[in-house]
Amino acid sequence: MKPALLITTGAILCWALLSVVSRILLLAYDLDPWMFSFLQLFAGGVALLILSGKGGLDLTSFVRPSTWVLGALRVLSAALYTAVLVWVSVPEAGIFGALNLPVVAIIVWIVMGQRPARFEWVGHGLALGAVVMLALQLEPGFRTTVLGLMGLNALCLAGMSLLVEAHPDNRSDLPGARTRFTGAVLLVTAIVFLAARIVQTGSVDGRVDMTLILSSVAVGIFLRAPAMLLAFWSIRLAGTQNYTAAISLLPVFGLVFEQLAVALGLIETSRFQIGTVYLLGLVLLGTFLILFARSLRLRASTNHRTET
């Protein structure tokens, strides 16, 4: 298996597990969501910096403006996604996340001059079709709001992916360099997250107990940190567009893990809906067509270079 495929698959699995495990812990122990997320980011960042093995603290990534912009976009994206969950379920939000596919393709075309393959637009059309069909099921009063928030979220994710791909600290495959860069981004995101909380509420008050601390630290080290590490590595190896296409499969894995948690009694209420599965299938088909079109173009380009 090619390294890019293996690493991207690992990233998807980690993100899906992070989502389901976080939901299990939040529901089971009534944890403070904000403090739970903040401690995850902080613990994951510190753990990766320790694992980097470099003597002393390397501040290179911390002084780059792009790292702070990346952290700010990460926090904004999380805020937009959380706002959408007021009106839709997590699997439905995943379907609306298919907006990322055409948005990223267009932005990469504009910014980097990489025009999408002609057949690729068929896949984008199927993904958008799933988004439109789900949007038509929403009440007209907040349909536009949900689409607007997810559209802004897609712009944030496109900006983050392009920044990660171009970031000077994301060009090495050495374990120490990878963990150091990802750890720095996690800590910067935690700092921006904290600043946003202070601006919003004027304080950082939250329910803190040993259960919260242990849960947050464990999830941050064993799920949040690996998910970010593999995601950044995937973007470096596969590129922004291929990573975005692959990560659109996340709702499928998330739904599988959540149903497994329900079967094990870890989650009491299932959000399984057959209509959602059909729309996820449409997004899945669109994603595979996009990846297939790109592979055909890459193969044709490789053959052309070989012949010349």
Predicted confidence (pLDDT) per residue in 198-254, tens digit = 988 888 777 889 999 999 999 999 999 999 999 999 999 999 989 999 998 888 888
In the chain, the percentage of residues whose pLDDT exceeds 90 is: 61
Q: What is the pLDDT of residue 281?
A: 92
Contacts of 2 (CB under 8 A, 6+ apart): none
- Asked whether the predicted pLDDT for residue 1 surpasses 60, the reply is no
Distance CA 208, CA 138 (A): 37
Mean pLDDT over each residue of the chain, to the nearest integer: 89
**What pLDDT score does 99 carry?**
93
**Cβ atoms of residues 119 and 289 within 8 Å:** yes
The DSSP code sequence of 240-277 is HHHHHHHHTTHHHHHHHHHHHHHHTTSSSS----HHHH
Residue given tokens 């948005």 in the structure block = 103
The answer to whether the CB of 276 falls within 8 A of the CB of 91 is: yes
| pLDDT grade for 305, boundaries at 50, 70 and 90 | low
Q: Which amino acid is at 18?
A: L
* Closest to 46 (Cα-Cα) out of 191, 206, 260: 191
Q: What are the helix (H) ranges across the chain? A: 3-29, 33-51, 65-84, 90-96, 100-112, 120-136, 140-166, 175-201, 210-219, 225-238, 240-247, 250-263, 274-307
Q: pLDDT tens for residues 253-291? A: 888 888 898 899 998 877 677 888 899 999 999 999 999
Q: Which two tokens stand for residue 171?
A: 């060009």
pLDDT of 92 above 90: no
pLDDT in tens, 119-152: 899 999 999 999 999 999 998 888 999 999 999 9
pLDDT tier at 104 (50, 70, 90 boundaries)? very high
Least confident of 51-55, 76-80, 217-221, 247-251: 51-55
Looking at residue 304, what is its pLDDT? 56
State how far the Cα of 25 lies from the Cα of 211, in Å rounded to an integer. 10
- Say if residues 283 and 300 touch (Cβ distance below 8 Å): no
CA 245, CA 243: separation in Å to the nearest integer? 5
